[in-house]
Chains A and B, each alone.
Chain A
Amino acid sequence: MRGTEATDNHLLVRLRSNEAQVRAADELDVALGRDYTVALNLAPATPAWLRELGAEPMYLGLDLRGGVHFLMQVDMDAVVEQAVERYRDEFRRALREADLRYRDIRPQETGLDIAFIDEVTRDAALELLSADYLELAFEASESDQAATLSAEITEDELREIRNFAIEQNITTLRNRVNELGVAEPVIQRQGADRIVVQLPGVQDTARAKDIIGATATLEFRMVDEGNFPYFGDESEPVPPGTERFPERGGGFVLLEREVIITGEAITDAQSGIDTETGQSQVNIRLSGSGGGVMARVTGDRVGDHMAVVFKETELQARRVGDEVIREQVEVEEVINVARIQEQLGSRFRITGLDSSLEARNLALLLRAGSLAAPMQIVEERTIGPSLGQENIDQGMAAVLLGFALVVVFMAVYYKVFGLIANLALFANLILIVAVLSILQATLTLPGIAGIVLTVGMAVDANVLIFERIREELRAGSSTQQAIEGGYGKALSTIADANITTLIAALVLFAFGTGPVKGFAVTLSIGILSSMFTAILGTRAIVNFIYGGRRGVRLAI
């Protein structure tokens, strides 16, 4: 072990090797139990004085540090289907309550067809529903047997529904990934219906997939008022019609067996402050049908308590003999118990929370409890940690050898001017790395290839200039004229040549994904910085050495 560092609610243990890290993680996982998340990470070993300056290590791509890349596709058809289902439930109840009789409601791709007995009922239904559902387009039609009313979800609303689904899934994924304890995870939306998840340093892909794909659910249940607060423990039998759940933070609660609603009915949950009491609270919004159920159940039970149960499957470590075994365990716990102040509808709030932090966490769990739409992994790229290190070593070796070959060649072929070009090339390498760091761009293996290629191509500007100087000298120009002419005339050629390469690099950037983008980034930066170092940089040194000296022989 190389030391530990503790921050707010994190403890970082530094270890000497990967092997020690894996063993230590197993030990800690067993010793600490399920109140802690133990995760393998790669923490930077930046010296303290550099950290003081705000220096951070370069971001390495997954192909260099090892890790998992997932591309997940959200099933949008299922999202719309769910929305249609929800409307069907709501229509049924609304029509029943208004005593409007219908024959049946048939779900369509993006809407519903309702068949009525006669036109009068249909028109009444149209009036009722169109007032409540502004996001739907209603249309009445006649056929031989029935008067039909069709409701279409508008394009805007469809977009909204899809956006909501993907945002919700991203929130859920983010929370689950946080559970993994991965440093610097990337969870991003890509295009209309895809999500990119990148987990650097994660080696156990099977576990990562399990957690990402886990199905956590929420349930709202009534508390058994006869036994509240509950002081029993696990050994006691429970009264009929009730179930015992562990409470987060210790103890147990007895809840009624009937589930009021599940997490799927929650459309939104936000933490906030009660303006009257100054207490933290969570504002919850339910879907129409969920709100209806909630109103019915809570209407005659004002004053009683309601509990939120969180259920998920998670992996837990256990020691059997000498081996550490990880297994899937279904975990259920009560995350919140609150008194019902009044009849609840589709919007209500949970108060009585201890702190704003607790409110935020609860809102997060409520929002993130379940995936809004099914997802599927459509692309996976995993790089083992040993391969990552190998890629770094090989990439560095290639850069060094390529650099050395070019430097030797230039020095031999162009003598002093070659050495000057080499200085510029060296400065160029440093500039590329500096710009990459400033942009916080991620360095990938193709990115290193881009740097190598830049080394080869960056000297081109100097070759153009030097060849031009030689030409001028052959044509009988004086040294100063030759230098002036060489730099001056080569300039537009260099610009033209580099801009065309830049066009190709930009196209690569626009169309490339992942690693290819990395190549495009380093290539573009390399082209731009090489123009600077190879033209301005070398000119400054050339002027410093040969400036103002007449009749001297140029070592070129």
Chain B
Amino acid sequence: MDFFKRETRINFMAYRLHAAIFTALLVAAALAFLVFRGLNLGLDFTGGTLVEVGYPQAVDLAEVRETLDAGGFDGAVVQTFGTARDILIRLGPDAGEGDALSNAVLAALQAANPEAELRRVEFVGPQIGEELAEKGGLALLYALGGILIYVAFRFEYRFAIGAVSAVLHDVIVTIGIFAGIGLQFDLTVLAALLAVIGYSLNDTIVVFDRIRENFIRMRKGTAVEVTDRSINQMLPRTLVTSLTTLLVLIALFTLGGELIRGFALALIIGVLVGTYSSIFVASSAALALGVSKEDLIPPPKEGEDLEEERP
């Protein structure tokens, strides 16, 4: 089977102005969501206590809330988790002495219904929460910095800027979508975000690699033509890899359980956004910065290879 019987000839770069406007709008919308709605930060970053309790049958949330109110746990957020038999209770960092609180909550619930079973407790002190948030931010910065340096070293600084702007775009849009939908942003989502950075970059690098090769091989053709040709040549691969990755992510999203769902969703969004950005953001940015044939003087070894293959 082959989706692409012959090489496609889509003039991607002809649309690059439209794409730029669309991208700008997308990023602006994402930033607006981030600023005005804000991220729904998970326990990892805010600190607080979370207790997950399982019941053999579905329970009434109102009853659980009443039990907790009667127990003096004011401000407890009660929701179901996955199924109606699973209850998630979240308490803010100022709800009481952290490590004793979870035991008290469980004791109160078990007094009301002895079948309540403790499934999970998470308690994060406020100081730890701050640290995790700080570390997470630093991790994003270092990942971006490391990639910038590697791409600049392997290609050229304009490509590096193109790659990093594509990755930044992916991160901002993915976080923006999380803020927009109000999905919880916790440590695993942050990990997914870093994996998105790796993935999106992977996509971008593959296209850049071909652009570099074509600049050297195609005697004629403007930078725009070379870029278009390269994107078209890599299109089957870009789409096939995105598809296989999405396939496993969908498996993870549907079967992986509630704990991993946010992680899988962040990656699914990231892969979609990353595929878009590697076509329209990374290459356009490199072009806009004025990448030309002269910038890519080939290392001697690769040049020889190519000479041999042209008949």
Q: Which A residues have a C-beta under 8 Å from some C-beta of B?
A: 63, 70-71, 73, 203, 205-206, 209, 377-384, 386-387, 390-391, 394-395, 397-399, 401-403, 405-406, 409-410, 412-413, 415, 445-446, 448-449, 452-453, 455-457, 459-460, 463-464, 467, 470-471, 474, 485, 488-489, 492-493, 496-508, 510-513, 515-516, 519-520, 523
Contact = CB atoms under 8 A, between A and B. Distances in A.
B128 interface: yes
Interface in B253-289: 254-257, 259-260, 263-264, 267
A506 B142 CA distance: 10
A78 B80 CA distance: 42
B2 to A, nearest CB: 7
Contact of B191 (A63, A203, A410, A512): A512
Contacts of A394: 255-257, 260
A244 to B, nearest CB: 36
11 contacts: A71-B128, A205-B118, A378-B128, A394-B256, A397-B255, A409-B243, A445-B259, A456-B249, A467-B236, A500-B202, A511-B138
A460 B247 CA distance: 13
B248 A452 contact: yes
Given A456-B249, A500-B198, A503-B198, A446 B263 contact: yes
Given A381-B123, A406-B247, A446-B260, 10 more contacts: A378-B124, A384-B119, A391-B257, A398-B255, A405-B247, A413-B1, A460-B244, A500-B202, A503-B146, A503-B198
Contact of B205 (A206, A383, A493): A493
A382 B51 CA distance: 9
B201 interface: yes
A379 B128 contact: yes
A380 B263 contact: no
B191 to A, nearest CB: 5
Contacts of A384: 54, 117-120
B195 A402 contact: no
B87 interface: no
Contact of A405 (B136, B248, B264): B248
Interface stretch (B27-35, B59-67, B97-105, B176-184): B97-105
A497 B206 contact: yes
A398 B247 CA distance: 11
Contacts of B248: 398, 402-403, 405-406, 452-453, 455-456
Contact of A379 (B124, B146, B190): B124
Contacts of A409: 243-244, 247
A496 B139 contact: no
Contacts of B309: 485
Contact of B237 (A398, A463, A513): A463
Nearest to A516: B191
Contact of A382 (B118, B124, B195): B118
Contact of B150 (A446, A460, A500, A519): A500
Contacts of A459: 241, 244
A397 B250 CA distance: 12
B122 interface: yes
Given A382-B121, A398-B252, A508 B244 contact: no
B99 A398 contact: no
Contacts of A448: 256
Nearest to A508: B194
B230 to A, nearest CB: 12
Nearest to B129: A379
Interface residues of B, number: 79
Contacts of B54: 384, 386-387
B7 interface: yes
Q: Chain A interface mostly helix, strand, loop or mixed?
A: helix
Contacts of A499: 150
A252 B122 CA distance: 46
Interface of B: 1-2, 6-7, 52, 54, 98-100, 102-103, 117-125, 127-128, 132, 135-136, 138-139, 142-143, 146-147, 150-151, 154, 187-188, 190-191, 194-195, 197-199, 201-203, 205-206, 209-210, 213, 233-234, 236-237, 240-241, 243-252, 254-257, 259-260, 263-264, 267, 302, 305, 309
A424 B255 CA distance: 24
A412 B210 CA distance: 26
A463 B190 CA distance: 28
Q: Which of A387, A496, A511 has the most CB of B within 10 A?
A: A511
Contact of B201 (A464, A471, A474, A501): A501
B99 A464 contact: no
Given A386-B119, A501-B201, A513-B132, A453 B240 contact: no
Contacts, number: 247
Cβ-closest 9 pairs across A and B: A402-B248, A504-B198, A501-B198, A378-B125, A511-B139, A456-B248, A402-B251, A394-B257, A456-B245
A471 B99 contact: no
Contact of B251 (A387, A452, A523): A452
Nearest to B236: A467
A70 B99 CA distance: 9
A395 B302 CA distance: 44
A62 to B, nearest CB: 10
A460 B274 CA distance: 15
A384 B51 CA distance: 11
A472 B248 CA distance: 29
B241 A378 contact: no
Given A464-B206, A471-B233, A516-B190, A457 B241 contact: yes
Contacts of A453: 195, 245, 248-249, 252, 267
Contact of B260 (A445, A511, A512): A445
Contacts of B187: 512-513, 515-516
Contacts of B302: 492
B52 to A, nearest CB: 7
B240 A378 contact: no
Contacts of B125: 73, 377-379
Contacts of A203: 118
Contacts of A445: 257, 259-260
Contacts of B234: 467
B123 A380 contact: yes
A206 B103 contact: yes
Nearest to A464: B237
Contacts of B122: 380-382
A449 B99 contact: no
A471 B214 CA distance: 14
B205 A511 contact: no
Given A382-B121, A457-B202, A391 B146 contact: no
Contacts of B259: 63, 391, 445
A381 B132 CA distance: 15
Nearest to B135: A511
Nearest to A72: B99
A449 B138 contact: no
